[in-house]
């Protein structure tokens, strides 16, 4: 994928979601926001850094309080696996921060195959003048 944003997408339709935290509740809600916005037709880029990168790993059990997911599902709310799948199906662009992976000594080979590794400039360029939500 190119670091440039698609100029055919108006800025009010672009949303950037920035996940800084490695806590399950924040990672879960980042995927709620990203999938919800994509389902409404917005162009969404989810940028994840530092310990939050665990949320983009094939095995996301490294998230803080990852066991919370079972309680979320038991309460009738979509779990992290379903939300991640929805994001992929809805075309959410998933980016793991290269610097965040390095700073936390995390192995990029553990990422989902749909995840690209790039920097903050790529994220900001993708969002352009669109809205950014930090979780």
- Which mean pLDDT values do the consecutive 10-residue runs of the chain (135 residues) have? 61 93 98 98 98 98 98 98 98 98 98 98 96 97
Q: Which has the closest alpha carbon to 23: 84, 67, 74?
A: 67
| pLDDT value of position 23 | 98
CB 49 within 8 A of CB 56: no
Q: Which has the closest alpha carbon to 119: 102, 135, 107?
A: 102
Q: Which has the closest alpha carbon to 100: 48, 135, 23, 61?
A: 48
Taken as a whole, the chain contains a residue count of 135
Q: 12-134: CATH homologous superfamily?
A: DsrEFH-like (3.40.1260.10)
pTM given for the model: 0.92
Q: Please list, in sequence order, all residues whose beta carbon lies within 8 angstroms of the beta carbon of residue 94, skipping any fewer than 6 positions away.
A: 46, 48, 56, 87, 88, 112, 114, 115, 116
């Amino acid at each position: 994928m190119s670091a440039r944003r698609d100029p055919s997408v108006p800025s009010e339709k672009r949303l950037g979601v920035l996940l800084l935290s490695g806590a399950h509740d924040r990672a879960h809600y980042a995927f709620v926001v990203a999938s919800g916005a994509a389902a409404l037709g917005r162009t969404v880029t989810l940028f994840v850094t530092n310990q939050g990168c665990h949320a983009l790993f094939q095995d996301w059990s490294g998230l803080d309080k990852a066991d919370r997911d079972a309680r979320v599902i038991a309460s009738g709310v979509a779990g992290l696996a379903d939300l991640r799948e929805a994001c992929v199906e809805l075309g959410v662009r998933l980016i793991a921060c290269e610097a965040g992976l390095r700073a936390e000594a995390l192995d990029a080979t553990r990422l989902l195959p749909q995840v690209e590794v790039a920097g903050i400039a790529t994220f900001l360029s993708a969002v352009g003048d669109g809205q950014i939500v930090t979780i």
